[in-house]
Amino acid sequence: MVRAVSLVLAGMLTGCTWVGPEIVRSGRPAYNDAILATSDQQLLQNIVRTRFHDTVGFLNVSSITANVSVTATGAVNVGVGPSSSFAGNLVPLAGTVATEQNPTISYVPVSGDQLLRQFATEIPLERVILIVNSAIDRRQAWRTLVRRVNDIRNPDFPDPPSIAVDPRFEEVVELAAMLQARGVLYWVRLAGAQTGFGFVLHSYSPASAREVERLLSLLGIRTPVQAGEDVIVPVQLSVGSPAQGSVVIESRSMLDLMRLAAAGIELPDDVPGAARLRTPGPAGQGIHIRSAAAEPSQARVATRYRDRWYYVGDDDDASKQWFNMLQFLANAQLPEAAAGSVPLLTIPVTGRR
């Protein structure tokens, strides 16, 4: 009998060696899905808060520690007396294995001065270039992130005649995106005597010569003497007149982008508390945030605020790309705000599986 009990317990404990991998298989996707989904909801709700001129803030998940405990029990039931008194009602050997997860989730609030420093400053040039390079629609990335190239303006909220979109900006965007798609224009980190970033016009065929010449003309860059000659143009994040042979770019901030997204919220006229914003320029015309009284059935991301639902439609590719770009930038900004910070809110959660 002792040997039988030992075999049962050994079998249960051997099964426990599979608990760790199974916890990872089931737990990691679940935690990741929850973090990604709530991050999207948090960003969307802050955009909606911006439309109502309410306070915005972010609560970052700084760490998740999931402790798993395994408990195995075994039992032997032995009948005493006549077998007729327990026949059919006795389980000779029994055992159970129970696992328990005790995750500890730590949050870091990002608000006030911390949020202002991270979100109100211009997006660094390196991040602008990374987003443009990786964007599905480079034209949309240019229009959204860049407010000015040299003296060519792309204002957030045009107010003609004093603040108007310069038609040359769209031409620069079209030419730059076209040449990059053809493998003619490359964004690079400069080396040697030149530092920072720039773009190179390299190995362009006669078929692209006209576009290259027009782009350089719009940017005030000298056309190479020999057709097809490489052109290296330093680019700086600044405003004002550029140095000869270089380009200056003024980028937007995360708060600028959130205001532009907030202007894209479709709202009935009778919603109380909502600000009536001006129509944005090309920068904000790539995103549309819908609203409804009931929870939407098909949404890329949705959140409830002030008794209404706000969402990005799952059938709206342009808005989904715009929102993804904003989330990439938000994620790039927020870790810097939380770096070295002590979590201010830690919640232990106990649950059985």
pLDDT tens-place string over residues 46-68: 999 999 999 998 988 878 777 76
pLDDT at position 126 is 94
**Which residue in the block uniquely carries the two structure tokens 């987003």?**
131
Please give the residue that has the higher pLDDT: either 13 or 55: 55
Of 283, 318, 196, nearest to 247 by C-alpha is 196
State residue 205's pLDDT score: 78
- Where are the extended beta strands (E) located within 33-77? 58-76
Predicted local confidence at residue 115, as pLDDT? 83
Q: Could you tell me the two tokens for 271?
A: 């919603």
The domain locations on the chain are 2-111, 122-252
pTM, two decimals, is 0.81
| Residue percentage of the chain with pLDDT more than 90 | 53
Closest C-alpha among 125, 93, 105, 85 to residue 12: 93
Cα–Cα distance for residue pair 166/170, rounded to 1 Å: 8
Split at pLDDT 50, 70, 90, the class of 74 is low
Name the pLDDT band for 90 (thresholds 50, 70, 90). Answer: low
Tokens of 72: 């195995």
Q: Is the pLDDT of residue 246 over 90?
A: yes
CA distance linking residue 140 with residue 228, whole number of Å: 28
Residue 161: cis peptide before it, omega within 30 degrees of 0: yes
pLDDT value at residue 100? 67
pLDDT for res 337: 40
> Six-digit token pair at 18?
């599979």
Higher pLDDT, 186 or 15: 186
Grade residue 5 by pLDDT with cuts at 50, 70 and 90.
very low
Residue 129 confidence (pLDDT) above 80: yes
Residue 28, judged by CB atoms within 10 A of its CB (0-12, 13-18, 19+), counts as exposed
Confidence of residue 6 (pLDDT cuts 50, 70, 90): low
What pLDDT is stored for residue 254 in this prediction? 95
Decide which of 179 and 342 is more confident.
179
Does the pLDDT value for residue 223 go beyond 90? no
Phi, psi of 304 (to 5 degrees): -105, 130
Paired tokens of 80: 């005493």
pLDDT tier at 113 (50, 70, 90 boundaries)? confident
Mean pLDDT (the chain, rounded): 83
Mean pLDDT of 77-99: 59
Tokens 């007149």 belong to which residue?
241
Average pLDDT over residues 113-125: 88
Q: Give percent above pLDDT 70 in the chain.
A: 77
Distance CA 156, CA 249 (A): 15
Q: Which residue has the higher pLDDT, 26 or 349?
A: 26
pLDDT in tens, 167-197: 999 999 999 999 999 999 999 999 876 779 9
- Check whether 351 has a pLDDT greater than 80: no
Q: Which of 7-21, 65-79, 203-217 has the highest mean pLDDT?
A: 203-217
Which has more pLDDT, 287 or 21? 287
**Who wins on pLDDT, 77 or 54?**
54
Overall average pLDDT of the 235-248 stretch: 90
pLDDT band at 240 (very low <50, low <70, confident <90, very high): confident
Does residue 325 contact residue 135 with C-beta atoms inside 8 Å? Answer: yes
Residue 339 confidence (pLDDT):
46
pLDDT at position 30: 82
- pLDDT at 31 exceeding the cut of 90: no
The pLDDT of residue 241 is 84
pLDDT digit string, tens, across residues 136-147: 999 999 999 999
